[in-house]
Amino acid sequence: MYNELYKVWRLEKTSELPQPLPSDFYNRAAAYLKDLDEKGISNTPQGLQDRLALKEKEVAERLLEEIRQARLRKITNTSLKGTAMNLQDLTDKEKTLVESLQASTAEFGEVRVESSNVDTPLVEVDLTVVRFLQDSPEIVGVDLKMYGPYKKEDVASLPKQNAEAFIKQGAAKSIDVKQATQ
């Protein structure tokens, strides 16, 4: 089993798509690790064989975890991109993951489409020109746009309600701007 783990690890490290795995791969790997535990390997090995077996177990666990992570990343990325993937190459748990990701992605797409069909009226916002009397942080205007940050003596056009708030706080002063006629 160790050789199979190493072979799978190498294939996963060098490919963009998940490589074919038998559906019982993870179960057999777990049984292999359990078998190493049952052979009496302790954390304080007595002889050379015990130390070699302990090292084999440590490396096998690391390989298995890296295989899982690589496959999860590949499956997730491939599913999100909508790229075709051969489900026969996946274990049963990975197939379930793909189906779940596809269903969630489809559901998310439907929500996005539904919300984009809603007509939202454009609200016209009256703007007021102000001169800042002190530094002011970035704010979200009543029109949900970002304004600022501003430094002392900056001049800006803000939604009337936001400008009035700055003026009331003494942070800005209104500037009267006459409309130019052509």
pLDDT score recorded for residue 167: 94
With cut-offs at 50, 70 and 90, classify the pLDDT of residue 179. Answer: low
Q: Are 74 and 98 in contact (CB under 8 A)?
A: no
Q: Is 159 exposed, middle or buried (0-12, 13-18, 19+ CB in 10 A)?
A: buried
The predicted-structure confidence for 16-47, as pLDDT tens digits, reads as follows: 888 888 888 888 888 888 887 776 555 566 77
pTM over 0.85: no
Q: Judge whether residue 74 has pLDDT over 70.
A: yes
Q: Which two tokens stand for residue 105?
A: 């992605």
Q: Which two tokens stand for residue 19?
A: 């490589």
Q: Please tell me the chain's helix, strand, coil percentages from 3-state DSSP, rounded to the nearest 5.
A: 55, 10, 35
With cut-offs at 50, 70 and 90, classify the pLDDT of residue 113. Answer: very low
The predicted-structure confidence for 136-164, as pLDDT tens digits, reads as follows: 999 988 888 889 899 999 999 999 999 99
> Comparing 2-116 with 127-174, is the CATH topology the same?
no
Domains of the chain, by residue range, sit at: 2-116, 127-174
Place of tokens 């949900």: 144
Q: Are 147 and 169 in contact (CB under 8 A)?
A: no
Selecting from 1.20.58.340, 3.30.360.10, 1.10.287.610, 1.20.58.1030, what CATH number does the domain 2-116 have?
Answer: 1.20.58.1030
Domain 127-174 class?
alpha beta
The percentage of the chain sitting over the pLDDT mark of 90, rounded to a whole number, equals 23
Strand-pair category, 155-159 with 127-132: antiparallel
Element (H, E) at 163: helix 160-169
Q: Judge whether residue 112 has pLDDT over 60.
A: no
Q: Which two tokens stand for residue 114?
A: 């539904």
The percentage of the chain sitting over the pLDDT mark of 70, rounded to a whole number, equals 84
